[in-house]
Amino acid sequence: MNIGDWNRSGNAYEMLQFMKKSDEVAFSNKAEKLHFYLIACAKKYLKFRSNEEIKKGLIAAENHLRNLISDKEFRDQEWKIEGAAFSCDIGLNDEYPNPYSIDITITKDLKMVRIHKNVMGLQAKQYLMDLAYFIDKCMAYSRDSIGELPEEKFAKFLCPSLLRRKFNFPVIGSV
């Protein structure tokens, strides 16, 4: 990847892989910056998640990175985010067909995905479940990930223009 490819790329996951391959040590040293980037990406998708605890959790992750809240406060929010992901998974899973067990916010979120992403049925369900787990992973990354990339299945939630704003084109030794 050259600087022209970097500036034109629409694939933030490939850009992150390139950054990591360019200089893994420098990339690991920028872990906190990567964590803020991932949280910012997750925040871009809050319109698809109506559970207020999710927004609070992402704010808590930022505050934890800035050492503004305790580990306990962060972990309390992390559990709520993980619970929201599990709730979404169970609520959208056809193995649990009881309509009374579905959280009304999940139905609302699914409608938002269908409208704004123009996907229906299983694709909409999968998108919402992937988003729920992406947000959950962002919380986990902000706690204990050093130089790791998110799973490739979450690439669709990574924003290349935001990545370019937060990171310069990687020159060896300066990622």
pLDDT tens across 111-126, in order?
999 999 999 888 999 9
Q: How far apart are CA 83 and CA 151, in angstroms?
A: 20
Q: Is 9 helix (H, G, I), strand (E, B) or coil?
A: coil
CA 99 to chain centre: 28
Q: Is it the case that residue 147 has pLDDT exceeding 80? A: no
Q: What confidence category does residue 172 fall into, taking pLDDT thresholds of 50, 70 and 90?
A: very low
Share of the chain above pLDDT 90, in %: 50
Residues 2-18 have pLDDT tens digits of: 888 888 999 999 999 99
pLDDT, residue 140, reads: 84
Two structure tokens written together for 128: 């919402």
**In degrees, to the nearest 5, what angle opens at C-alpha 22 toward C-alphas 17 and 24?**
80
Domains of the chain by residue range? 3-166
Q: What confidence category does residue 44 fall into, taking pLDDT thresholds of 50, 70 and 90?
A: very high
3-state secondary structure 11-59: CHHHHHHHHHHHCHHHHHHCHHHHHHHHHHHHHCCHHHCCCHHHHHHHH
pTM: 0.86
